[in-house]
Amino acid sequence: MTVEVSSLKELVEQASGDDRSPDTQEYFVNMGPQHPSTHGVLRLVLKLDGERVLRCIPVLGYIHRSIEKISEHMNYMNCVHLTDRMDYLSSIMNNWAVSKAVEEAAGIEVNSRIQTIRTIFAELERIQSHQLWWGVLGMDLGAFTPFLYGIRDREVLNDVMEETVGARLTMNYVLPGGLMADIHPNFVHRVKEFIKYFRPKLDEYDDLLTNNVIIQERLRNVGILSPQTAVQYGATGPVLRGSGVAFDLRKDHPYGVYDQADFEVPVGTIGDSWDRYWVRVEEMRQSMNIVEQLLDNIPPGDFLVKKLNSKIKIPEGRYYSQLETARGILGVFIVSDKKDEPYRMHYRSPNFNNLWCLEPMIKGDYIASLIGAMSSLDLVIPDIDR
Amino acid sequence: MEREALQAAVCELDSTVSPLDANADRAAVIVEASALPAIVRRLRDQPQFAFAQLLDHVAVDWIDRGQFELIYQLYSFKHKHFLSVSVFVPREDPRVPTLCRVHPVAEWQEREVYDLFGVLYDDHPDLRRLFLEDDWVGFPLRKDYQDDFMLDRPR
Q: What is the ipTM of this complex?
A: 0.86
Q: In whole angstroms, give the CA distance from residue A99 to residue A108.
A: 10
Q: CA of A7 to nearest chain B CA: how many angstroms apart? A: 6
Which of B25, B122, B128 is opposite residue A8, by nearest beta carbon?
B128
| Contact at CB, A316 and B77, closer than 8 angstroms | no
CATH of A69-385, one of 1.10.940.10, 1.10.645.10, 3.40.50.720, 3.30.420.40: 1.10.645.10
- Confidence class for position A16, pLDDT limits 50, 70, 90: low
- Which of the pair, A239 or B135, is modelled with greater confidence? A239
Where chain B has pLDDT below 70, the residues are: 1, 22-24, 150-155
Question: Using an 8 Å Cβ cutoff, are B33 and B95 in contact?
Answer: yes
**DSSP assignment of A34-55, as one string?**
S-GGGSSS-EEEEEEETTEEEE
Chain A CB contacts of B134 under 8 Å are 7-9
Chain B CB contacts of A61 under 8 Å are 130-133
The Cβ of residue A123 has, within 10 Å, a number of other Cβ atoms equal to 26
What is the amino acid identity at position A231?
A: V
Q: In whole angstroms, give the CA distance from residue A146 to residue A140.
A: 10
Q: In whole angstroms, give the CA distance from residue B59 to residue B67.
A: 10
Mean pLDDT of A304-329: 82
In 3D, which of A281, A237, A268, A272 has the Cα closest to residue A369? Answer: A272
Mean pLDDT of A222-239: 89
| Contact at CB, B141 and A60, closer than 8 angstroms | no
Q: CA of B14 to nearest chain A CA: how many angstroms apart? A: 23
Helix (H, G, I), strand (E, B), or coil: what is residue B38? helix
Question: Using an 8 Å Cβ cutoff, are A163 and A184 in contact?
Answer: yes
- Confidence class for position A130, pLDDT limits 50, 70, 90: very high
Mean pLDDT of A61-80: 85
Mutate to test the interface with B, among A228, A318, A349 (most CBs of B within 10 A): A318
pLDDT reported for residue A196: 92
Question: Using an 8 Å Cβ cutoff, are A138 and A376 in contact?
Answer: no
Question: Using an 8 Å Cβ cutoff, are B1 and B79 in contact?
Answer: yes
Q: In whole angstroms, give the CA distance from residue A160 to residue A124.
A: 10
Q: CA of B9 to nearest chain A CA: how many angstroms apart? A: 21
Chain B CB contacts of A315 under 8 Å are 23
Q: In whole angstroms, give the CA distance from residue A219 to residue A214.
A: 9
| Contact at CB, B25 and A320, closer than 8 angstroms | yes
The domain ranges of chain A are: 8-59, 69-385
Q: What is the DSSP letter of A137?
A: H
pLDDT reported for residue A197: 92
pLDDT reported for residue B152: 61
